Amino acid sequence: GQNIDQPTEMTATEGAIVQINCTYQTSGFNGLFWYQQHAGEAPTFLSYNVLDGLEEKGRFSSFLSRSKGYSYLLLKELQMKDSASYLCAVRDGDYKLSFGAGTTVTVRA
Amino acid sequence: IAGITQAPTSQILAAGRRMTLRCTQDMRHNAMYWYRQDLGLGLRLIHYSNTAGTTGKGEVPDGYSVSRANTDDFPLTLASAVPSQTSVYFCASSDSRGGHNEQFFGPGTRLTVL
């Protein structure tokens, strides 16, 4: 099975940087995903890591360390529209995803 | 349409009734999934299908059944609904034949069982 942990809530100021950590213990690993989910909406894909290191995509970056079972999502130059839940998900060898409970980020003016 | 659709958007159902949630995608993705999302628990996989004609059980399959008669449609059936099945249900699809294989999610169905 999969055990995926991420903080429940985080608050940051507009323009600041926030780092959301995710730790996992899994029986198989075939990539780690981050999704964004606004209240009342569907999750949308943000980033994917399968090798160790940093993947950068505009204001968002994601890091993976497979040996430590650890990932983080970095959100830079925070905007009010970044207020949402961020979901960490690990994929097993059968292409099934296991999700963490999500981290709710609140951006304050 | 483009993407993945679900119906109904929301539903209030009496306990013991049968209910089918519909999901259709037009991306020709081979894999499809059903999740439920509950506060504090995140998304949990109910059933999945890697290709038309095949299905598999996820983490929380009890009380639910699925079928995959063709590539586009993946209905989820609650044979006899119970209050603990009150949740938001998301359908998703992915193309497992290349790339990141990220899953694309439908808009969700909010189901209340009384």
- Quote the minimal CA–CA distance from B16 to chain A in Å: 27
Distance between CA atoms of residues B82 and B16, nearest Å: 6
Q: Which amino acid is at A65?
A: S
- In tens digits, chain A (109 residues) has pLDDT values of 579 999 999 999 999 999 999 999 988 899 999 999 999 999 999 999 999 999 999 999 999 999 999 999 999 999 999 999 999 999 987 778 999 999 999 999 9
Chain A residues in contact with B106 by the CB 8 A cut-off are 42
Nearest CA in chain B to A90: B102
Nearest CA in chain B to A104: B40
CA distances from A61 to A6, A49, A98 (A): 17, 10, 21
Please give the pLDDT value at position B14. 98
Report pLDDT digits (tens) over B77-99. Answer: 999 999 999 999 999 999 977 66
Please give the pLDDT value at position A2. 75
